Amino acid sequence: MAFDIEMIKAVYAKYPERIAAAREAVGRPLTLTEKILYAHLAQGDATQAFERGVSYVDFNPDRVAMQDATAQMALLQFMQAGRNQVAVPSTVHCDHLIQAEVGAEQDLSKAKDKNREVYDFLSSVSNKYGIGFWKPGAGIIHQVVLENYAFPGGMMIGTDSHTPNAGGLGMIAIGVGGADACDVMAGLPWELKFPKLIGVKLTGKLSGWTAAKDVILKVAGILTVKGGTGAVVEYFGEGANSLSATGKGTICNMGAEIGATTSIFGYDEKSEAYLRGTERADIADMANGIKEHLNGDKEVYDNPEKYFDQVIEINLSELEPHINGPFTPDLAWPLSKFASAVKENGWPAKLEVGLIGSCTNSSYEDISRAASLAQQAVDKKLTAKSEYTITPGSELVRFTVERDGFLNVFDKMGGVVLANACGPCIGQWARHGAEKQEKNSIITSFNRNFAKRADGNPNTHSFVASPEVVTAMAIAGDLTFNPMTDTLTNQDGDQVKLDEPAGLEMPSKGFAVEDAGYQAPAEDGSSVEVIVDPKSERLQLLEPFAPWEGSDLTGLKLLIKAKGKCTTDHISMAGPWLRFRGHLDNISNNMLIGAVNFYNEATNKVKNQLSGEYGEVPAVQRQYKLHGVGSVVVGDENYGEGSSREHAAMEPRFLGVRAILVKSFARIHETNLKKQGMLALTFANPADYDKVQEDDTIDIVGLTSFKPGVPLTVVLNHSDGSKDEIQVNHTYNAGQIEWFKAGSALNLIKGNS
């Protein structure tokens, strides 16, 4: 559980010189984001780095955090790197595989039994390679990271989209795919396009019913789910300094819903108080020593329009509580207008369930403020009209709020405490009756509310709000209720009004815990055996991919010509396939089953050129592999958009696809293909997509002189004996060409280790 104090000292030691060099290079004051990113450049070329939204830059993150669903393949890959230990401090957190159904104790016990082989693998591989392991029940990755590892001015990557939660403590924290995490753990730098910057100036101070959650709900309404794409959102101003560290974490966490690369706040007295309150006083002392470098320059915040690409200003004193939804986290409604919206849109006014917690809102402050309303319900003889669940973010928080009596208060109100895990927020909710697909409404303090996300029911209208508003709505059982103005009828028939919520940012008696759920790795893991059952359906050790044979590729068959959108979900579906995330062979049975075949407008139905019959995409490709025949996948625009799921690149590679040829790639997927030793190619002339025919045999020529910036030639040998020669482009640099030749980036790392 140690927070790597020597590493943090080393990070802080380079700040003054690095930031002075950056300021001189660009000739202007710097934002906080620019300071942290420049301090973590793998190479110190400030001129290139500060071309916002243009240049790809290599960074050296300080640490890696992985959740259990994505850690499996990341660590299976890492085992191929030939290292004895991870190159940077890393942790694994078991939070995604626990399904909410009955309550904390029963659900956790069931998950441990059901997922035992996955947990045993993650525990053993962590123990062997120097990785901290947080057991199931220890808490949600982002809350645990905030409590133990986040530090001002640091840089972290995590295998979960809500990794930016750590921005609440002034850390650049970015969600990535498992392949990126693997590379950083193996000692490679990490590539990112230098982001654009959105500045959010906060003035005033929150009061009454308004909470930190309402800031991001307001911002989401302004920027929409795409408005932050390619940008870092930097919060500043007197209003920012008034927010608790965990409140800032809430705002940064949900920044993922506007597409932001990450979000961040500067270091201030609230940050210091949280560090000291979570037993990290030595980090606070060090941060105080370089405090000027852990905030943007004064000139930037005095004149933000000159230094940010976009500026938003919000007065916290005037901000109203918000409820966002349904079906999208950016449909923002001020509380005063929400009841009318419910009526006008015909949304179900009866509230079935209120759910608080998740990685976004499960701090001591969140739970104490919600508990103040639950206590009011008990004292004022109100019975909660809706089901109500509480998901603590960590065992540290759960133990402390139980000690302070809050869980008992929720129990009296009729609430159910769930395990310290993601649960309903990520769809791990065995909601009774959801299979009926009835139209209904729920309200949560989570971050996402897309259709079917929580319970699989497309007719569940899911709304997002602060824990305080969620609790009040659950007491009322009615979405048209406004707790700021309306009254409720109690058990005696009296009209009573809820008072404003009250709570504490930090526990007055300090945090406490008996067993936080942490397992430290062995000091010497050389004798530790990684536990994987050869007969397992969920886990499979990886074999290195074969290196390039040294010649042009000839005689390849067309596997599929995908029509239209082909995201990573089309290439490697989620849902029930998630259980195979650690078994490459089994999960490869979902390869491209969602892609639309250009020739028959069908999914998962392609022509097998060896038999002339049509079959499922993975089955046809397995036949090609069995007969030693390589293949090519052809795609449309922005191929591979969506999540940074490395399985979408690994599956074709594993089954014998040699090249992906498309009109254009989504950047992360293109990089993932390169890392796996695949050829990621684009039509020099997009119209050549139309020349590809269903029965084509394909040659790729020019590989013996494969060089950066030099196109290759693809020969389309048609079944009638004719052929087309077309030029194809690539974006491989010299290092990435070596990945291809070695068979994968990991093969190259292993060969050089």
Residue 180: closest CA among 65, 10, 56: 65
Q: Is 55 tagged catalytic?
A: no
How far, in Å, CA of 89 to CA of 241, rounded?
A: 30
How far, in Å, CA of 279 to CA of 507, rounded?
A: 13
The single residue of 18, 96, 461, 581 carrying the catalytic annotation is: 96
Residue 234: closest CA among 144, 163, 324, 172: 172
Q: Is 585 tagged catalytic?
A: no
Burial of 259 (0-12, 13-18, 19+ CB in 10 A): middle
Count the Cβ atoms, other than its own, within 10 Å of residue 578: 16
Residue 37: closest CA among 267, 253, 192: 192
CB 522 within 8 Å of CB 597: no
How far, in Å, CA of 281 to CA of 272, rounded?
A: 8
Percent of the chain that is helix, strand, coil (3-state, to 5): 40, 20, 40
Residue in the block written with tokens 């940074």: 644
The single residue of 645, 647, 669, 730 carrying the catalytic annotation is: 645
Helix H, strand E, coil C: the string for 244-287 is CHHHHHHHHHHHHHHCECEEEECCCHHHHHHHHHCCCHHHHHHH
The single residue of 322, 431, 448, 730 carrying the catalytic annotation is: 448
The single residue of 68, 95, 183, 478 carrying the catalytic annotation is: 95
How far, in Å, CA of 250 to CA of 8, rounded?
A: 24
The single residue of 643, 644, 669, 688 carrying the catalytic annotation is: 643
Q: Is 724 tagged catalytic?
A: no
Contacts of 130 (CB under 8 A, 6+ apart): 85, 86, 90, 521, 522, 525
Handedness of CA 39, 42, 44, 50 (dihedral sign): negative
Residue 503: closest CA among 248, 207, 238: 207
Q: Is 631 tagged catalytic?
A: no
How far, in Å, CA of 749 to CA of 753, rounded?
A: 6
The single residue of 68, 160, 183, 330 carrying the catalytic annotation is: 160
**Token code pair at residue 196:** 């654009």
3-state secondary structure (DSSP) of residue 463: strand
Residue 669: closest CA among 708, 643, 633, 630: 643
Q: How far is CA 707 from CA 25, 226, 318, 738, 741, in A?
A: 32, 36, 59, 10, 12
Q: Is 581 tagged catalytic?
A: no
Q: Is 643 tagged catalytic?
A: yes
Which residues on adjacent β-strands are paired with residue 562?
Answer: 597
Secondary structure letter of residue 292 according to DSSP: G
For helices 245-253 and 141-148, angle between their N-to-C axes, nearest 10 degrees: 140
How far, in Å, CA of 275 to CA of 257, rounded?
A: 27
By residue count, the chain amounts to: 753
Among all residues, which ones are annotated catalytic? 95-96, 160, 448, 643, 645
